Amino acid sequence: MVAARLAEAYPGTPTELCALAHRNPFELLVATILSAQTTDARVNSVTPALFAAYPDAASLAVADPADVEAIIRPTGFFRAKARSLVSMAAGLVERFGGEVPTALEDLVTLAGVGRKTANVVRSVAFDLPGLPVDTHVGRLSRRLGLTEATDPAQVERDLDALVPAAARGALSLRLILHGRAVCLARSPRCAECLLADVCPTAPTSLRAARQAAGAPGAAAERRAPAGPAGTVAAGRRQRKERLPGRA
Ligand code: SF4
């Protein structure tokens, strides 16, 4: 139910839903590492220069970290990120022939890559099962009663059990979109939410009214999925500015 409604509100494949600009798995891996603690738009503002200078793992593996830092500085934490990128690329060259591996167990051995980043790469770049759990996914999953866990790995396992493997990546991205547009961390906009009738966190009176009306609140959601900015179209335009990915 939840996954189906979110799919209607936020259509598209994981690749289409991901706003990190990339042309191949290597670029997505780099962009996802850079996306920590910053916006996708900011990552997208530096990656063209970064990928022009270092188009593959071989070139990034021998980069001077100071040169990488100069390019990625706007993304914040640039010294640590530069170290991670160069080490990650060296790992790709030394252990994976310069190619991004597809197995989660291999991906998480790379510098700067945890389960979240690995699952972004698997689901978006390779169209493989992978459910990245970030702060939005965790928060919404708990509010919706899909899990009680706070540990991201357990949240991932609980959500994995609820959807087919092929649908996991898209569900994660849609939860992130809904978390940014409607189910905000501090003040969720339940009156605008298409899930209000099935969400145990929604005000009781609102949930009952929605259930009585037999409607998911989609009308309100369709009117204002992105908050004050307004329409679904506007929400989808803004999505490219706000999404991560995700990781
Ligand atoms: S009803 Fe409220 S708490 Fe539940 S998912 Fe929607 S915005 Fe979040």
What's residue 228's pLDDT? 30
pLDDT tens, residue by residue, 115-169:
999 999 999 999 999 999 999 999 999 999 999 999 999 999 999 999 999 999 9
Q: How far is the CA of 171 from the centre of ligand 1 (A)?
A: 16
In angstroms, rounded to a whole number, what is the distance separating the alpha carbons of residues 69 and 46?
A: 11
Task: Using CB atoms within 10 Å of the CB of residue 72, give its burial: 0 to 12 exposed, 13 to 18 middle, 19+ buried.
Answer: buried
What does the pLDDT read at residue 1? 85
pLDDT digits (tens, 9 = 90+) for 91-110: 999 999 999 999 999 999 99
Centroid of ligand 1 to alpha carbon of 194 (angstroms): 8
Of 64, 134, 151, 197, which one is the catalytic site residue? 134
DSSP per-residue letters across 157-195 = HHHHTTS-GGGHHHHHHHHHHHHHHTS-SSS--GGG-TT
| Residues in contact with ligand 1 (CB, 6 Å cut-off) | 140, 143-144, 182-183, 188-190, 193, 195-196, 199, 201-202
Catalytic entry in 56, 64, 106, 116: 116
Taking the CA of residue 190 as reference, the ligand 1 atom at the shortest distance is 2
- Best mutation site among 142, 193, 210 for ligand 1, i.e. most ligand atoms within 8 A of its Cβ? 193
- Asked if residue 239 has pLDDT above 50, the reply is no
Domains of the chain: 2-10+133-242 (1.10.1670.10), 15-125 (1.10.340.30)
The minimum-distance atom of ligand 1 relative to the CA of 206 is 1
Dist. CA 41 → ligand 1 center (Å): 26
Nearest CA to ligand 1 atom 2: 190
Determine the Cα angle at 4 with ends 133 and 233, to 5°. 85
- pLDDT digit string, tens, across residues 176-229: 999 999 999 999 999 999 999 999 999 999 999 999 998 555 444 444 343 333
Instruction: Quote the pLDDT of residue 128.
Output: 97
How high is the pLDDT of residue 215? 57
pLDDT of residue 216: 56
> Tens digit of pLDDT for each residue in 41-91?
999 999 999 999 999 999 999 999 999 999 999 999 999 999 999 999 999
Query: What are 97's two structure tokens?
Result: 């022939």
242 pLDDT above the threshold of 80:
no
Q: Say which residue the tokens 């493989």 belong to.
A: 128
Whole-number pLDDT of residue 214: 82
Distance between CA atoms of residues 240 and 98, nearest Å:
29
Residue 41: burial class (beta carbons within 10 Å; 0-12, 13-18, 19+): middle
Provide the 8-state DSSP code for 227. G
